Homo-oligomer: A and B are copies of this chain.
């Protein structure tokens, strides 16, 4: 298999720990020293395995989106109706943002507000990620509209941006320390608004 000296750490586990650390402290406030400390490896090993801080973050964010972070959006797409999907998206994100023992809030939202513009590759990654999430919302609502489901508005684009704002608001409040029940009451209001606007 490998020709040279074998790697002495589990790359996936290291990536997972890096992801948790970026999630906890944001992008800029997570230093290479912090990472090598938590990962238990030297900085040359980190750079050999991941290239740079920026590319390590992108790999960690990929892992976030492919795992926990992507689950609420998977639930959105899989739900039988758009209403169920949006509710699953919001409640799933509340659970994600307030999980016991885990970092609070959203890794991507936090990074978006704490990444210096000079790190262009990270900024570009975050922009693409945001576009993808908006597109996921829009397409789910679009298919619902095509299926004749009742929606709170005919403007699917505006709806997608509206529910994206709900998610971001929940993420910020979770980071500020809002409790899970408090965030769920906010989701209750958002879904009550869906119903009140849809039945006309």
Contacts and interface: CB of A to CB of B under 8 A. Distances in A.
Given A158-B188, A178-B161, A112 B172 contact: yes
Contacts of A189: 152-153, 158-159, 162, 197
A44 to B, nearest CB: 26
A32 to B, nearest CB: 15
Nearest to A153: B189
A63 to B, nearest CB: 21
Contacts of A171: 172
A175 B168 CA distance: 12
Contacts of A162: 185-186, 189-190
Number of copies: 2
B158 A185 contact: yes
B114 A28 contact: yes
Contacts of A164: 169, 173
Interface string A171-192: 1110111100010011011101
Contact of A193 (B29, B175, B186, B196): B196
A68 interface: no
A98 to B, nearest CB: 14
Interface in A111-160: 112-114, 116-117, 127, 130, 152-153, 155, 158-159
A168 B161 contact: no
Contact of A172 (B113, B117, B196): B113
A39 to B, nearest CB: 20
A72 interface: no
